[in-house]
Structure 1
Amino acid sequence: MSEPSASARIEIAAPAERVYELITDLANLAAWNAECVRARWVGPVKEARRGARFVGGNRNGARRWSTHCTVTAADPGRAFAYHVRAAGVLDVAVWRFELTPTDEGCLVEQKTWDIRGPFMRVVGGWTTNVRDRVTHNTANMARTLENLKRVAERR
């Protein structure tokens, strides 16, 4: 895949397997995620597995929107990724978490690729009130990873 549109990384003093469990625990996502405030599995598969689907509820100030996501990678303790669509059909982004064990815990890298076409760039900017998605995502990813670190290291 090409270079991500935005990325962030952080060292977490917790095992990669524990961090992976937090990342894939949709019921408790709001405890650490900066923009996605809720998510739930939909369809027959209710766990992090390639092909599983979930709906995410997002917030930016007073603006709220939902996304439809399909898991593209689910490798416990190593990687979790998903393809995001608006209304289930319009491409928005690909998000990926990569976890690398370290002596003290793990390195977590969060990456995103903006795959919106021209129509979705305009509509998405209006819907979310985010005109510069790269800058917005970069800041949110740093905040998200700091929150994830706090939650993972507290356990």
Structure 2
Amino acid sequence: MRGAVTVHMKAAPEKVWGLVSDVTRIGEFSPETFEAEWTDGATGPEAGAHFRGHVKRNGVGPVYWTNCKVITCEPGSDFGFAVYAAGQRANTWRYQLRERDGGTDVTESYELGTHPALRLYGLVLGPLRGRTNLRGMRQTLERIKAVVEVGS
């Protein structure tokens, strides 16, 4: 199960990247993850850095923490992280930035892990969860756009 949403923003890729890679600001943008913090000595985005996110599933609950690891960190172009559950990669989220028409196309995407339980989840609840993810990604990107375009 996977999906992606792209929104054009009237801002330089470096400016957008500064927001999408600062996990401590996710609560301003995401409809589900209302806070995050760097862990295990990490203080900012870099490949291999760990953080945890505080999630309110579907915006209503349940509420839980997720452990995450930065897997892609290319300033100005790509920020991705894996979400872990029970020691397994459950999901991968990614923000890819491409300069276009004096601004930036920002694509947020997700891909569910390959564990058999996740594949079953994808088959049973995938269509519903997929729609929720797409709606949430669009909302996240539109909120980032509102912040990053101020003063541009």
With normalisation by structure 1, the TM-score equals 0.85
Aligned to 1:110: 108
SS at 1:132's partner residue? helix
Give the letter for the 1:22 counterpart: L
Give yes or no for the alignment of 1:133 onto 2:132.
Answer: no
Aligned to 1:64: 63
Counterpart Cα distance in 2 of 1:116 and 1:34: 25
SS at 2:142's partner residue? helix
Aligned to 1:38: 35
SS at 1:138's partner residue? helix
Superposed CA offset, 1:18-72 (max 9, x none): 1100111222221112221111000122111000000001113132121111100
Counterpart Cα distance in 1 of 2:126 and 2:35: 19
Q: CA RMSD in A?
A: 2.3
Aligned to 1:152: 148
**After the TM superposition, which parts of structure 1 deviate over 6 Å for at least 4 consecutive aligned residues?**
none
Aligned to 1:24: 21
Kept after mapping to 1: 8 A contact 2:52/2:66: yes
Kept after mapping to 1: 8 A contact 2:24/2:38: no
With normalisation by structure 2, the TM-score equals 0.86
Counterpart Cα distance in 1 of 2:62 and 2:128: 15
Moved more, 13-22 or 60-69: 60-69
Counterpart Cα distance in 2 of 1:54 and 1:114: 19
Give the letter for the 2:69 counterpart: T
Counterpart Cα distance in 2 of 1:57 and 1:48: 18
Identity, in percent, stands at 27
Counterpart Cα distance in 1 of 2:6 and 2:127: 24
Aligned to 1:80: 79
| Number of matched pairs | 147
Counterpart Cα distance in 1 of 2:113 and 2:4: 15
Superposed CA offset, 1:118-150 (max 9, x none): 435778xxxxx9983212111111111111111
Q: Which runs of 5+ in 1 are unaligned?
A: 124-128
Kept after mapping to 2: 8 A contact 1:45/1:52: yes
Kept after mapping to 1: 8 A contact 2:95/2:109: yes
Moved more, 24-33 or 12-21: 24-33
Aligned to 1:15: 12
Aligned to 2:45: 48
